[in-house]
Structure 1
Amino acid sequence: MKISYPALAAGLLFAVNAVPALAEVSGESSDASTPATNKPDTSFSVGEIVVTARGMAGSTDNVLTSVDRLGGDIAQNADVDNVYELIGRMPGILVTDFNQGTTSGKFSMRGFNGEGNINAVKLLIDGIPSNSNDGNMPYIDMAFPLNIAVIEVVRGTSDPRYGLHAIAGSANIITRSGGTYVDARGSVGSYDSFEGQLVAGLESGNITQNYQIAYRESDGYRDHSDSQRFSLSGKWGLALGENVKLSAIARYYDADAEEPGYLTFADSRSNPRMTNDYNESDGDSRGLQQYALTLDAALSDRLDWSNMAYYNRFRDDRFVKFSAGASQQRRLTQEDQYGVSTALHWHGDLSGVALMLEAGGNIEWQDNRSARWLSVERVPTSQTRDQQFDLSVGGAYVQAIIEPANWLRITPAYRIDWVGGDFNNLLSDTSAPINDYGSIDQPKLSVAIFPSDGVTLYGNWGKTFQIGLGSGAYLIPPRQIDLAPSINSGWELGAKYQLGDRVEARVAYWEQSATGEIARKLNDPLGDFENVGGTDRNGVDVQLRVKPMADLSLWGALSWQKAVISVPSPATPELAGNEINHTPRWLWSGGIEYSPLEPLTLSLTGRGQSSYYLTTANAEGKWGDLNIFDASIAYRLNQNVELGLTVKNLGDSYYEYVWWDGSQTLHSPANGRNVTASARLRF
C-alpha cells in the first residue's frame, strides 16, 4: 500500500480534533484537577534538574518507562570533545568512539551498537528530529555543552510519540530558554586544543531571546587529526497573552577535520599516535543547518496543544581510506528534511476516574543524495554510486492515562506509521519504488503502581519498527518481494525509590526481540543491507544516587545486557545463538562530587565496558574493553568567575575502537591522559 500524505494529514487533523470531542462527552467537572493524585516517577537524574513550566502535550512525564536525565550543571561545566561523550556518562549508554575527524562517534543503548548499520535511537534537539537518513547523529555536533539545560533519554518500546529510528528509545537535548544572562566559557588543553563558548539570554516582557556562539579547534591526540568546529544558534519566543506562545529556532554549524585513519594491531601497540602515510589526504567538510517554528497553546485549563514545523539541512564531503589495500573513497552526502508534528492533550475525570487523553503525530519528508567515487589523493578516478531518493514517513498516535485508584496508573497507547518514497540510480538511469511496508501498527501498554510515597513499581510493553535505510528502503532489482518492516517487541519491569533529594534508586529488567532485523552494509557501493534474522536482547539496569550530606553526592550505574541472533538468516544458519557484534555485556558509569569549601568543587567520574565481538561470526576474538576515569576541580572566585581544571583518562589507560575489515583487525586508539584548564564568566 502506497501512502497518500494528504490523506494522512487529514487523518492527523481528525485525530487531534477527536480529543476535545471526547472531552465534551466525558462529563468534565468545573474542578481543573490534574489526572494524577499521586505522580509516579520512573526517572533517574545525574546532576541538578531544574523543572520549568511547560505544556503537557508530548511530554515525557506521560511516559511510564525508564527515563534518565543529565542536568545542565553537569553539562555546562564539561570538558568534552563532543556532546555524545556527555550522554555516555548516563546509565546504560554505550559510546562508540571512532575518533575519525567529523565521523567521531555516537551513543546507543538497550543492546544495540553504534556501528551505523542499525541505529536504534531517535535523536532530538529541542524536540526537533535530528537523525540523518541512515539513523546516524551528525546533528548532535551542533549542540555545545554550555548551552544545554538538560539531556533526557527515554528507553524501551512503550513511548508512542516517535516512530522512525525510535527502535530502542529516544534522546532529547534541551537547550537553554528564557532568562536574562551572559555566560561565557573558554578552555585550553592538551593537543593544542582551544574552545570558546558564549551564550546569552534576554527576557523582556513577552519576548525571550537566547543565543549561542561556539568554536573549537584541536590538533588531536593522533597525527593528522586537526579539526575546527563552529556553531551558531538562536531561539526566540513571543508570548501572545498567557495562553499562546510562538517560538523560532535557528542553528548553523560548520566543521573541517583531518582523519588519522585506522591502524594495524602492531602499529596501534607500538605507536598509537601515528597515522598511516596513505591517510595523509583523508578528511571531511561538514555543514549543518536546522530551523523550526513552534506554537504552543493552552486552549483551556484542561486542553493543551503543541505544534512544530522544521527544516534540516546536511552536507558532508568526506575522503577516506580504510586500509593499505583499499582505495580511497570520496563520499558525498546531501540531505534535506522537512517535517511537521502536532499533539493535543486533555485531562480531567470521567465518573470520578482521573483521565488523560492525547492524540498526535508527525510527518517527515526527505530529499537525499548519496554519491561515491574511488579516488587517489582526493582526485576521483571512477564513480561507484550516484543515488537520489525521497523518503516520507508519517505516523499518528493516541494515548490515554487512566487512574482508577490513587495508587494505580494505566497507560494504553497505539501508534501507526506509513512510509512512502522513490529511488533513482543516476548511474544506471533506473528507478525503484519504496517497499510496500503497509501500515506499521505499534500497540503499547504501561502500568505503574505507587504503594507509598517515594516508591513506584512499573511495567510496560510495546512495539517499535525498523525499515531499510538508504537504498535498502526500496524494491531494487533483482529483489521482487517487498521487504517487510522489522518489528521490535519489548517489555520492562522496574522499581524506583526516592527519599527526598538524599537517595534515588532504580532497578529494571528488560527484553526486546526483533523479527527480520536488517543491517546496512557499511562499505557497499549500492548501500544495500543484509538480513540478520530474528534477534533477542535482554538486560538489567541498576542505578543509585546518594547525597549523604549537603556537600557530597555519589551516583553509580551498572548494566548487564546480551544481544543474540535467535533465528538466523537462511543464508547463515551457523550464526544461531551468536552475539551481535560490538555489543559488550557490561556497562558501568558513576561519579563523586564533593565541596569541602563553599567555592571549591572536586569531582571524579568514570565509565567502562567489557569487551565485544567484532562480527556476528564471533570468530575474531573479543576487543574493546575499557575503564577510564576523569577528575576535575572547580574554584569559584566570586559569583561571576569560576576557574576549572580537568584531567581526562586519569590513569592514561589505553583503549580503542576496533573493527574487522574481512581479513584483519583495524584499530583507532582513543585519547591518552589529557589536561584542560578553563575559565567561566557569568553575568
Structure 2
Amino acid sequence: MHLSSALALALATYPLAAKASDDNAAAARKADTSFSVGDIVVTARGMAGNTANVLTSVDRMGGNVAQNADVDNVYELIGQMPGIQVTDFNQGTSSGKFSMRGFNGEGTINAVKLLIDGVPSNSNDGNMPYIDMVFPLNIATIEVVRGTSDPRYGLHAIAGSTDIRTRTGGTYAEARIAAGSYDTYEGQLVAGLESGRTTQNYQIAYRESAGYRDHSDSNRLSLSGKWGLALGEDVKLGALARYYEADTDEPGYLTYADSRANPRMTNAYNASDRDTRDMQQYALSAEVAFSDRLDWQASAWFNRLRDDRYVKYSASASQQRRLAEEDHYGLSSALHWHGELGAATLMLEAGGDVQWQDNRSLRWLAVERVPTSQTRDQQFDLTVGGVYVQAIVEPTDWLRITPAYRIDWVGGSFDNLLAGTSAPINDYGSIDQPKLSVALLPAAGLTLYGNWGKTFQIGLGSGAYLIAPRVVDLAPSINEGWELGAKYALGDLLEARLAYWEQSATGEIARKLNDPLGDFENVGATDRRGVDVQGNVRLLPSLSLWGALAWQEAIISVAPPENPEYAGNTISHTPEWLWSGGVDWRPAEPLTLSLSGRGQSSYHLTSANAEGTWGDLTVFDASASYRLNETVELGLTLRNIGDAYSEYVWWDGAQTLHSPANGRNVTVSLRLRG
C-alpha cells in the first residue's frame, strides 16, 4: 500500500493539462461503475467535483421513481437502493436514517456524508435531520457513492456519501395530493420557470399524520427555492434557500410483552413526549468554464438547526429535555483540467472545503415537560477543513487509473458552561488519506474496477475534545478499505454489477447516546467486509425486473482493553443480509403496476452479543398509477401488503425495548402536471 500511496501522490500532483478532443472522448470506451433504479437524465457536462470522476460502486435513483413515492420520509426511498440498511426508530422527528457498508444507523457512528444539492447536510454528530426538508416530488435524482476512494469529502464520509439533487431549471407546475391510513394527508407543489438566462424552482410541501401508533401525531412543513443566472455560456450563478418546521408527538418504546400484545399502543408515561424542530439552509454557488478543458466551481453555505425534544425511554427513567442549537457555515471549491499527453488522456483536479460549527447542547431532567434539574450545558466550536488532488490517467482506451490524495485538519474548543470548565480539541494533526482506483474496459459495456483508500473518524460532540480526566489526545480512527467489482451493461436491456469489499478501522469509537457528558466509548479495531450483487433487466419494453442482494460482516477484530471478551463479536445492529427488488409492468400505456420488496436478517443489540438477535424483516409493497391524460394521474399504494410485523429494537442495559414499524397501510394520490 505504500507503493500505491506514492503513486497516488506523484500522479495527482503532476501538472499536465492539454486540450482533449470531444470526438475522441465520445468514441472512447467509458468506465461505468454505477447502478441505476429508474431513469437518470443527464442535462449538462460534468463540472469539477463530479461523481463521474470516481471509480467505485455508485448507485442512482431517478426522479421518475422518487417523485411518485408514498413514503413517510425520504430516507425510506434511499432504502430501496442496493445494500442500504434503514433504521426505523419511528419516534417523531427521530424517525430514522439509512446506513451502508456494515455501519448501522444507531447514531453512535454515522458513516455517511449527506449532501442536498451539494450542500453538506449532517448535524454535528453526523445524523441527518436535514433530509426531512426534501419531499419526493422535488427530487431529480439520488446518488449514493460507496467506499473509501472518493477524495471529495472528509468529515463523516467514513463509508461513502449520498447527494440528493432537487429539480433545477425547466418550466413546469406540478402538484401531488395524497391521503392514506392513520389519518395521513400530504400536499406537494413544485414549480419551475426558465426564461432566457434565469431559472427559478420552488417547493411547498405539507404532511400531517396521526401515525401508526398512539401518540404519534406529526405536522411537517417544508419550503424551498432555487434561483439560477447564466452570464453567457460559461458562467452560472446559483442560490438556494430552504425552511422546515416540524411538530411531533413521540409514542415511546415498548417492552417485549407490550409490543406483541398491542404494537399500536403507547405508554402512559410517554404522554408528554414531543419534539419541535426548525431548520434552515442557504447556499450560493458559481460554476465557470474558462475553456473546453478548464472549469471551476465554488459554493458557500449555511445550515441552522433548532431541536427541542422531550423524551422518556422507560418507566424507570426520567423524562429528559434535549435542546440542540447548531449553526454551520462552509466553503468549498474545485478546479478541473482535462486534456491529452501524446496518446494518453489526462485529468487533474484540485479542491477543498472548510466547515465552521457553532454548537450548543443542553439537557434537563423533567416531569411532564417541566424541567427540574439541568444535566448539560455545552458550547463547542468545531472547524474541519481539507484539500485534495486527483488525477485520471487513460494511457489506452481500455485502462483508467485514478490516484488521489486528501488531507484534513481539525480545530475547535469546548466549554462546559454547567461546570465552568474548558477543553481544547484533540490534537488530531494532519489526517492523510491516500486513494487509488483502477478500471479495465476489456469490451464494450464491461468495466472491471478496483479501488483502495483511507477515510477517517473523529469524536463527535464532546468526544472531539481533550476533556479531563483524559490527558492524552485521541488519535483519529483511520478506516482503510478496498473493493473489486465488475459492471456489465447491454444497452437498455441489462445492467448488472458484482462487488466484493473490505474496510477496517484502527480504533473505532462510538458516541454514548444517553450519556450526560455526551462522551464516547472505545469499540476497538474493527473489520467489515461484504458482497454486493445488483441486477436490472428489461424483459419487454413494458416489463422490467430489478433486484439487489448484499451480504456483510462487521466484527470487532481487536477488543477494547476493558472488554477483551468482545474480540470476534459482531458489531451491534448490523444484519448479515440485506435485499431489495421489484418488478414494474405497463400492461397498457396509461397504466403502470409495481411490486417491490425489501428485507434484512436479524442483528445483535450490543457488542456483548448476549441479548439475542432481533430486527429481521420481510416487507412487500405494491402500487398502481393511471394517467388519465397529460395533466391528471391517479395513484394507489399498498405498503406492507402482508401486514408483516417488524420493529426496531435496542437494549437499555436491563431489557429490550421495541418500536414496532407500520402495519399494512394504503395511500391514494392525485398528481397534476401543468
TM range (shorter): over 0.9
Secondary structure of the 1:86 match is: helix
What displacement does 1:32 show? Answer: 8.3
What displacement does 1:29 show? Answer: 7.3
Partner of 1:65: 56
Deviations 1:615-645 (A, max 9, x none): 0100000000000011001000001100000
CA contact (8 A) 1:335 1:366 kept: yes
CA contact (8 A) 2:364 2:372 kept: yes
What displacement does 1:351 show? Answer: 2.5
Q: Distance in 1 between matches of 2:524 and 2:617?
A: 30
Partner of 2:356: 365
CA contact (8 A) 1:493 1:508 kept: yes
Partner of 2:260: 269
Partner of 2:440: 449
Partner of 2:487: 496
Partner of 1:165: 156
CA contact (8 A) 1:35 1:347 kept: no
Deviations 1:15-57 (A, max 9, x none): 9xx99x934xx55578886498221000000011111104420
CA contact (8 A) 1:580 1:616 kept: yes
Secondary structure of the 1:278 match is: helix
Aligned residue type for 1:22: P
Out of 410, 417, 422, the residue aligned to residue 431 of structure 1 is 422
Query: Mean alpha-carbon deviation: is it higher for 233-242 or for 50-59?
Result: 50-59
Secondary structure of the 2:15 match is: helix
CA contact (8 A) 1:76 1:148 kept: yes
**So what's the TM-score if we normalise by structure 2?**
0.97
Out of 565, 570, 590, the residue aligned to residue 574 of structure 1 is 565
Partner of 1:509: 500
Out of 552, 555, 559, the residue aligned to residue 564 of structure 1 is 555
Partner of 2:450: 459
In the alignment, structure 2 segments of 5+ residues that lack a partner are 1-8
Aligned residue type for 2:403: P
Q: Distance in 1 between matches of 2:106 and 2:285?
A: 33
Q: Distance in 1 between matches of 2:92 and 2:419?
A: 32
Q: Distance in 2 between matches of 1:615 and 1:29?
A: 54
CA contact (8 A) 2:20 2:345 kept: no
Partner of 2:228: 237
Out of 659, 663, 670, the residue aligned to residue 668 of structure 1 is 659
Q: Distance in 2 between matches of 1:36 and 1:383?
A: 67
Deviations 1:461-517 (A, max 9, x none): 000000000000000000000000000000000000000001000000000000110
Out of 83, 86, 109, the residue aligned to residue 74 of structure 2 is 83
What displacement does 1:405 show? Answer: 1.0
Aligned residue type for 2:470: R
Secondary structure of the 2:131 match is: helix
Query: Mean alpha-carbon deviation: is it higher for 347-356 or for 130-139?
Result: 347-356
CA contact (8 A) 2:66 2:77 kept: yes
What displacement does 1:353 show? Answer: 1.0
Q: Distance in 1 between matches of 2:20 and 2:33?
A: 30
| 1:305 matches 2:273 | no
CA contact (8 A) 2:401 2:439 kept: yes
Q: Distance in 2 between matches of 1:173 and 1:282?
A: 31
Deviations 1:49-92 (A, max 9, x none): 11110442000000000000011001000000000000000000
Partner of 2:582: 591
CA contact (8 A) 1:559 1:588 kept: yes
Shift of the 330–30 alpha-carbon distance from structure 1 to 2, 3 Å rule, reads: closer
CA contact (8 A) 2:20 2:293 kept: no
Q: Distance in 2 between matches of 1:503 and 1:251?
A: 38
Deviations 1:435-486 (A, max 9, x none): 0000000000000001000000000000000000000000000000000000
Q: Distance in 2 between matches of 1:587 and 1:357?
A: 37
Out of 168, 173, 189, the residue aligned to residue 182 of structure 1 is 173
Q: Distance in 2 between matches of 1:641 and 1:294?
A: 36
Q: Distance in 2 between matches of 1:277 and 1:152?
A: 42
| 1:102 matches 2:93 | yes
Matches within 5 A, 1:369-388: 369-388=360-379
What displacement does 1:394 show? Answer: 0.2
Q: Distance in 1 between matches of 2:621 and 2:408?
A: 43
CA contact (8 A) 2:335 2:351 kept: yes
Deviations 1:599-625 (A, max 9, x none): 000000110000000001000000000
CA contact (8 A) 2:632 2:673 kept: yes
Q: Distance in 2 between matches of 1:84 and 1:365?
A: 26
| 1:475 matches 2:473 | no
Partner of 2:477: 486
In the alignment, structure 1 segments of 5+ residues that lack a partner are 1-14
Aligned residue type for 1:229: R
CA contact (8 A) 1:447 1:458 kept: yes
Q: Distance in 1 between matches of 2:30 and 2:219?
A: 46
Shift of the 321–639 alpha-carbon distance from structure 1 to 2, 3 Å rule, reads: same
| 1:618 matches 2:609 | yes
Partner of 1:293: 284
Partner of 1:11: none
Q: Distance in 2 between matches of 1:31 and 1:97?
A: 47
**So what's the TM-score if we normalise by structure 1?**
0.96
Partner of 1:528: 519
| 1:212 matches 2:215 | no
Q: Distance in 1 between matches of 2:649 and 2:97?
A: 15
Secondary structure of the 1:158 match is: coil
CA contact (8 A) 2:343 2:396 kept: no
What displacement does 1:228 show? Answer: 0.1
Aligned residue type for 2:355: E
Q: Distance in 2 between matches of 1:31 and 1:471?
A: 52
Q: Distance in 2 between matches of 1:317 and 1:251?
A: 20
Secondary structure of the 1:332 match is: strand
Out of 269, 279, 294, the residue aligned to residue 278 of structure 1 is 269
Q: Distance in 1 between matches of 2:268 and 2:364?
A: 21
CA contact (8 A) 2:46 2:52 kept: no
Secondary structure of the 1:22 match is: coil
What displacement does 1:409 show? Answer: 0.1
Secondary structure of the 2:77 match is: helix
Partner of 2:15: 22
Deviations 1:131-171 (A, max 9, x none): 00000000000000000000000000000000000000000
Secondary structure of the 2:573 match is: coil
Aligned residue type for 1:603: S
What displacement does 1:181 show? Answer: 0.2
Aligned residue type for 1:644: G
Out of 421, 426, 437, the residue aligned to residue 412 of structure 2 is 421
Partner of 2:84: 93
Partner of 2:344: 353
Secondary structure of the 2:645 match is: coil
Aligned residue type for 1:423: F
Paired-residue identity, %: 77
What displacement does 1:588 show? Answer: 0.1
Q: Distance in 2 between matches of 1:497 and 1:359?
A: 31
Q: Distance in 2 between matches of 1:566 and 1:46?
A: 35
Runs of 4+ with deviation above 4 angstroms: 26-36
Matches within 5 A, 1:593-672: 593-672=584-663
Deviations 1:377-417 (A, max 9, x none): 00001000000000000000000000111100000000000
CA contact (8 A) 1:35 1:348 kept: no
Q: Distance in 1 between matches of 2:25 and 2:630?
A: 39
Matches within 5 A, 1:36-55: 37-55=28-46
